[in-house]
Amino acid sequence: MKDEKQGQQGQSSLTSFADKHAYCEQVKMENFAQSMRLEGYEIEVPSLVENARKRDELRQQLIRHYKQADTEKV
């Protein structure tokens, strides 16, 4: 009976690839932070939502920049 409950609790609610990827990235960053702590460095794990938002904003800026640069060449 106890094994059945543990098996059910162990099941993940990650159903999409994006959810799984986000979870893996979060775990990777937490592991990195703990490894650095063991080495004597205190770092803060950045928010993945904030990083994704910043990355998307930077991506859009770069796209606009290179589109503008391409139109000026013609």
pLDDT digits (tens, 9 = 90+) for 21-32: 888 888 888 898
Best CA proximity match to 18, nearest among 52, 50, 59, 55: 52
Indicate the pTM of the whole model.
0.46
Structure confidence by residue, pLDDT tens digits, 33-59? 899 899 998 887 766 567 777 878 888
Question: What residue spans of the chain are helical by DSSP H?
Answer: 2-10, 17-38, 48-73
